[in-house]
Structure 1
Amino acid sequence: MKTLNPSQVSAVVGVIDPDANAAATYTTAWIDMADWSSIMAIILAGTLGSSGTLDAKLEQAQDGSGTGAKDVPASAIAQLTQAGTDSDKQAIIECWGEDLDLANGFTHVRLSMTVGTATSDSGAVVLGFDPRYGPASDGDAATVAEIVTV
């Protein structure tokens, strides 16, 4: 028996577009954790370039403009490497709102993904779970073109 559609309890809240990304750091927009109980970042490694590496972590800030940005402790993935045969693999980072430094006013989080050494196919999606208000789909990123429910 269907009671809730997945789009009512989870939303796409951040994206690093899948592409042949040059060696650089890529980030999602800041996500307000007041809107979500938790998030899950899914990092997607495609074909990593020769000697290429892929790192990812969560960062936290005191507002949506990135004030006081710092790492969320223990949120970094183990580095994915071309030499370690990590092409075409995924890594997942999960974070609850209470994992942020709430005592010092940290309320926002974003995914930071670094491609190292060589251009590599990569991308990421961050999902928000259990919205505090309304259906999750109300919080979907503007890049979500369509939701089809069967």
Structure 2
Amino acid sequence: MSYTAELSELMYPLAIEYADSQAIGTHNSAWVSLQNYHRAWLVLNVGEMQQGATLNCALQQARGPGGTGAKAITSSKTAGAKAITPLVQATGDGDDLVCIELQTEELDVDRGFEHVRFQVVIAGGAVEYAAVLYGCVSRFKAVPTTNWTERID
């Protein structure tokens, strides 16, 4: 079977948090539109966690790029919020790779919600992490490539 689609076009980085040590607090990505995508996929790469640290991550939705009406994304599949199970340093977490998948049908589109962001909440100590929120399965062609620093075909 021959494939002509390139993965860099099927999965486009919409919001990026580059690897760094983050302090205790709430860290939000920019709001990004999923208007041109059928799905989104958040990949969270967690490195070292300081003693006593915890990390939680969830997807949120809003009506626009300024976060109007921001609220949690709930899913019948998970029977709750689109969020990871909290990572806890004391139970051996750290050096973890987790992801959250989202289908745009899970957004409250009837009320105009088409923007999403990821929110990372850190407590108890600093945590090293990186995250990328991908827009997946573009509704239209051609697919943008401006967020890639370099693409090798």
Per the normalisation by structure 2, the TM-score is 0.89
Report the counterpart of residue 106 of structure 2 in structure 1: 99
**2:65 is equivalent to residue 64 of structure 1:** yes
**In the alignment, is the contact (CA less than 8 A) between 1:16 and 1:27 conserved in 2?**
no
Q: Percent identity?
A: 28
Give the drift of 1:57: 0.3
More strand by share: 2
For 2:18, the equivalent position in structure 1 comes to 17
| Offset at residue 62 of structure 1 (A) | 0.5
RMSD of Structure 2 on Structure 1 (CA): 1.3
Q: Give the residue type in structure 1 aligned to 2:27.
A: Y
Distance 1:147 1:4 in 2: 14
More moved, 44-53 vs 2-11: 2-11
Aligned equivalents of 1:29, 1:42: Cα separation in 2: 15
Call closer, same or farther: CA 1:81–1:104 in 2, change over 3 Å: same
Residue 79 of structure 2 is aligned to residue 75 of structure 1 = no
Q: State the partner residue of 2:77.
A: none
Q: Any idea what the Cα deviations from partners look like across 1:28-75, whole Å, max 9, x if unmatched?
A: 211211111000001111011111111000010001111000111120
Partner residue, 2:119: 112
Q: Greater shift after overlay, 55-64 or 7-16?
A: 7-16
Native 8 Å contact 1:60 1:108 kept in 2: yes
User: Tell me, which stretches of 5 or more residues in structure 2 are unaligned?
Assistant: 75-80
Aligned pair count reads 146
Where in structure 1 are there 5+ consecutive unaligned residues?
none
SS at match of 1:46: strand
Q: TM-score, normalised by structure 1?
A: 0.91
Asked if 1:121 corresponds to 2:122, the answer is no
1:147 aligns with 2:148: no
